[in-house]
């Protein structure tokens, strides 16, 4: 058994210590047989007591671990999107800040032009929306890699004076739904998924 799978299964046990009804409300998800069904990382996710599948395949790697971590600690609290928070403003985020800047934001910078061209598809796959309220940037959207973990992106296209840039912001109460290191990893694997789409 891989280390990812072992840790994933430990989180699954913790998640299912709640009743199916309570877990369903918190995720949120729909019951289908003995599984809870919801969108995760742009695909259909089935979560049972023993298994997690994403887009029809067993999720036994890092993304499956993140889904299980989310399921184990997500609360039924409402998402408070505003005021938005940068990663460094989340509690106890300092040890992860450099990795977050490189792996969640910096990794997307070379692809800003392509993301702009394909943003409608990306938004649709992640059950997201464009950000009409964005105060800066050339374009902006919010994605939902997990139902209660929105990621608010602001993109600047490159021009003659400035290079492209990417900012990824979190809901004000994001840390109520997942630990800080988990939030950083969610943003990293969302960025990788975006790149795979383009």
pLDDT 10s digits, 25-81: 999 999 999 999 999 999 999 999 999 999 999 999 999 999 999 999 999 999 999
Measuring CA to CA, how many Å separate 145 from each of 40, 151, 157?
5, 8, 23
Quick one: tokens of 141? 């959207």
Nearest Cα to 188, choosing from 138, 132, 145?
145
Per-residue confidence band for 3, with pLDDT thresholds at 50, 70 and 90: confident
The rounded distance, in Å, linking the Cα atoms of 85 and 172 is 6
**Crossing angle of helices 62-73/180-197, nearest 10°?**
140
The set of long-range contacts for 15-20, using a CB threshold of 8 Å and a minimum separation of 24, is 15/47, 15/68, 15/71, 15/72, 16/49
Measuring CA to CA, how many Å separate 98 from each of 51, 95, 102?
33, 8, 6
Residue 185 · residue 193 · CB < 8 Å: no
Per-residue confidence band for 160, with pLDDT thresholds at 50, 70 and 90: confident
Residue 30 · residue 37 · CB < 8 Å: yes
155 Cβ contact partners less than 8 Å away, ≥ 6 residues apart: 112, 115, 116, 137, 138, 139, 140, 164, 165, 166, 167
What integer pLDDT is reported at residue 189 of this predicted model? Answer: 98
Per-residue confidence band for 157, with pLDDT thresholds at 50, 70 and 90: very high
What integer pLDDT is reported at residue 165 of this predicted model? Answer: 97
Quick one: tokens of 110? 């070379």
Measuring CA to CA, how many Å separate 172 from each of 56, 82, 169, 176, 191?
33, 6, 9, 9, 20
Per-residue confidence band for 1, with pLDDT thresholds at 50, 70 and 90: low
Per-residue confidence band for 2, with pLDDT thresholds at 50, 70 and 90: confident
Report H helices in 16-61.
20-26
Phi, psi of 63 (to 5 degrees): -70, -40
What integer pLDDT is reported at residue 83 of this predicted model? Answer: 96
Tens-place pLDDT, residues 90-140: 999 999 999 999 999 999 999 999 999 999 999 999 999 999 988 899 999
Residue 50 · residue 154 · CB < 8 Å: no
pTM of the model: 0.95
């Amino acid at each position: 058994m891989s280390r990812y799978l072992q840790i994933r299964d430990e989180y699954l046990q913790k998640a299912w210590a709640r009743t199916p009804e309570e877990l369903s409300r918190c995720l949120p998800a729909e019951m289908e047989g003995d599984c809870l069904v919801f969108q995760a990382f742009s695909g259909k996710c089935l979560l049972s007591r023993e298994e997690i599948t994403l887009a029809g395949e067993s999720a036994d790697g890092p993304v499956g671990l993140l889904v299980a971590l989310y399921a184990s600690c997500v609360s039924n609290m409402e998402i408070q999107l505003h005021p938005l928070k940068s990663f460094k403003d989340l509690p106890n985020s300092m040890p992860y800040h450099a990795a977050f800047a490189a792996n969640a934001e910096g990794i997307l910078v070379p692809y800003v032009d392509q993301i702009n061209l394909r943003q409608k598809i990306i938004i649709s796959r992640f059950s997201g929306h464009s950000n009409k309220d964005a105060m800066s940037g050339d374009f902006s959207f919010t994605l939902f890699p997990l139902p209660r973990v929105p990621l608010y992106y602001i993109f600047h296209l490159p021009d003659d004076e400035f290079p492209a840039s990417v900012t990824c912001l979190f809901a004000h109460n994001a840390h109520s739904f997942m630990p800080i290191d988990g939030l950083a990893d969610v943003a990293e694997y969302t960025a990788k998924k975006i790149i795979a789409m383009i």
